Amino acid sequence: MSLPKRHNAHSFICLLTVLALLMNIFRATTFAENETALITHFTMSLANKPVTRAMTIFFYGALKGHFTAFRSLETVQYDEPMTTTLTRADLYSLLARALAEPLEELPKEYYLGTEGDDLPLDMFAQLGVVNVPANRFFVNEETVSWFEAQQHVVRAVLPEFRIQNDPAIVSPQQMYSYEQLEMDINRLLTLYPQLLTVEVIGQSVEGRSLYAMRIGQGEHEILIDAAIHASEWLTTPLTMKMVEEYAHHAHHGTLFGQHDVAVLLQEVSFWFIPMINPDGVTLVQSGPDAIIHGALAQQILSDSEDFTTFKGWKANSRGVDLNRQFPISWTTLTSVRDEPAPSHFKGHAPLSEPEAQALYDFARFRRPVLTLSFHQQGEWLFWYHKQTGAQLERDEKIVQALAAVTGYRYQYYNDNGGKYMDFVITELGVPGITVEVGTVVGDLRQWQRIWQQTRTLPLVAAELVLPHF
Ligand SMILES: [Zn+2]
């Protein structure tokens, strides 16, 4: 062995500590308690000090009870010396070797979590070796602490210390396409057949399916829609991630934030419509060649004074703004275009577009107790359209609470109608809330912030609205 001396000494002390600890915790009653004891110990004693590769390998060898594996791991070729601090990518490489899985044979689905890398993170998650974090995303270059390394090594070596994880399906930090959406819906349905159902509520102009996923068995329904505006496609992975996390936590009976999802889903059903404008989204993401109406879109764009690229395109594939299509004050709308445009053309008649019609019909049929519409941008909540009396009082209370959860601002926003939320408030008489996430449209670097701000929003909204029904 060729470890520097200072590491050998330190390692030996740590090894003794660990072995002593393991002897003790094997006497404890449950594995969950064992794990807690182990973690508490390391948190207290070694905390967040960074660890080196050499130390991690040593620890693995010690737990394994022999040093053969240690030697083979030691010979793993690295560009960096063994004494440098361990990055998360290093740790997972080591774990992969330690587990001796034939990685080449694993299906591609297991390689989730990092970009531009093929570390089998999701395999570790499925084996229970690593915790899947709330955001289900691993940062490659992050330095690994003693605590984390040891926790993972212990779980890799000793299956009884593993915790249950589900594979992460939705990988939200990507330009999330219609094809990706279909793939993820199918995989979620396969993984959570007891919890999720899907319906196709209509077809887009170009024949793409408009999906609605239901989670929950409750009698009161909440409708959540996203990406009615094409450029705001980031709201699709946002809502898909919510579906996955809610299903995951309901399945395991664990809390998500403060929320007991499984219990809530007995009273409430959420309908997620993650991409109501798939043609427009495809145009924004892949350009005019990717859609049937590409030439028309190109023409509309060149006629436009405000847009030079498809990046900010909000409309569907034939230049109609789907969120100006709803029959509330539609004839008297101002601030709209009178011909097809990248945004703000209300159409030649209300509900002339199949996407708007599908959303309208679905909402009228389901009779939700609340709707949430995800848009970009500005960190605003819009909620007001001429409601009065008890309805106004109820809705303002709810939006105040949602503003507290998200940190978003809200205001009276008496626009002149045509929007989905205006229809919900006016015709269905329930809170119709528009959530404007992020400060830059389509900027995935804001993902963490957006996710933290909004991930529990539908759950909170459900808890707030239920007493009123
Ligand atoms: Zn929008």
Give 136-180 pLDDT, tens digit per residue: 556 667 788 887 888 888 888 787 777 766 667 888 888 999 999
What stretches of 158-260 show up as alpha helix (H) in DSSP? 178-191, 235-252
Q: How confident is the model at residue 327 (pLDDT cuts 50, 70, 90)?
A: very high
Using CA atoms, how far residue 237 sits from 214, 234, 296, 374, in Å, is 16, 6, 28, 11
pLDDT of residue 24: 42
Q: Say how far apart CA 375 and CA 226 lie, in whole Å.
A: 7
Q: Say how far apart CA 31 and CA 24 lie, in whole Å.
A: 12
Tokens of 359: 């959303």
Check pLDDT > 90 for residue 375. Answer: yes
- CA 374 / ligand 1 centre spacing (Å): 7
Check pLDDT > 50 for residue 12. Answer: no
- CA 235 / ligand 1 centre spacing (Å): 10
Averaged pLDDT, 246-270: 90
- CA 232 / ligand 1 centre spacing (Å): 6
- CA 322 / ligand 1 centre spacing (Å): 10
Tell me the Ramachandran region of residue 112: left when phi exceeds 0, alpha when psi lies from -120 to 50, beta otherwise: beta
Check pLDDT > 60 for residue 117. Answer: no
- CA 326 / ligand 1 centre spacing (Å): 14
- CA 168 / ligand 1 centre spacing (Å): 28
- CA 226 / ligand 1 centre spacing (Å): 9
Residue ranges per structural domain of the chain: 5-161, 178-280+351-468
Q: Would you say the C-alpha torsion 429, 432, 401, 272 has a positive or negative sign?
A: positive
Q: How confident is the model at residue 203 (pLDDT cuts 50, 70, 90)?
A: very high
Averaged pLDDT, 348-357: 98
- CA 391 / ligand 1 centre spacing (Å): 25
Which range (82-96, 296-310, 352-366, 434-448) has the least confidence?
82-96
- CA 78 / ligand 1 centre spacing (Å): 48
pLDDT tens for 405-448 read: 999 999 887 678 999 999 999 999 999 999 999 999 999 989 87
- CA 406 / ligand 1 centre spacing (Å): 18
Q: What fold, for 178-280+351-468?
A: Aminopeptidase (3.40.630)
- CA 437 / ligand 1 centre spacing (Å): 10
- CA 229 / ligand 1 centre spacing (Å): 5
